[in-house]
Structure 1
């Protein structure tokens, strides 16, 4: 059993979990994000790109280090936290 919460493919909370992990780490690398989220490298990379393209989230990259600069106009940080904790009546799925 793992402590990492797992969401089905296509679930918005997968992206939100990557963004939350990214924000919680001072020096977030792809390897650290994979370990924190339980997702594979390709999925994490794709979700970072998707967050920028589809939600206007601003993420910078300097060498291997990612940094969440701005949540953008679509996603509120507080709302993302609510979705990830089940406060929006969305079930939390455990792996």
Structure 2
């Protein structure tokens, strides 16, 4: 992917981009999520854990594949997509 948008550390959109990548990439492995988001492996792994701990997002890992089972009570899939496509005056990315 060539149109990866880089968000600063601590920006919520970093987590949203990871969740969107897991939700939209078939057989979302760590390598595929890293390629889709432009983030490093450690950051992606940490953001997945934070999403579960802080927002009750349910992500299942089966072997190397991540599956987003539930966006939890904090996030909505449609709202995350809006944030990542520039609807909130943010730079657009392809989630």
Question: Structure 1 length normalisation: TM-score?
Answer: 0.91
Contact 1:7 1:93 in 2 (8 A): no
Q: What is residue 71 of structure 1 aligned with on the other side?
A: 71
- Residues in 2 aligned to 1:51 and 1:82: alpha-carbon distance in whole angstroms: 18
Contact 2:55 2:73 in 1 (8 A): yes
Tell which has more relative contact order, 1 or 2 (C-alpha 8 A, sep 6+).
1
Stretches of structure 2 that go unaligned for 5 or more consecutive residues are none
Contact 1:7 1:13 in 2 (8 A): yes
Stretches of structure 1 that go unaligned for 5 or more consecutive residues are none
How far the C-alpha of 1:88 sits from its partner, in A, is 1.5
Question: Structure 2 length normalisation: TM-score?
Answer: 0.91
Structure 1 stretches of 4+ with a deviation exceeding 6 A read: none
Query: How big is each residue's C-alpha offset from its partner over 1:11-43, in whole Å with a ceiling of 9 and x where there is no partner?
Result: 000000000000011201101110110000000
Structure 1 vs Structure 2 CA RMSD: 1.4
Contact 2:85 2:92 in 1 (8 A): no
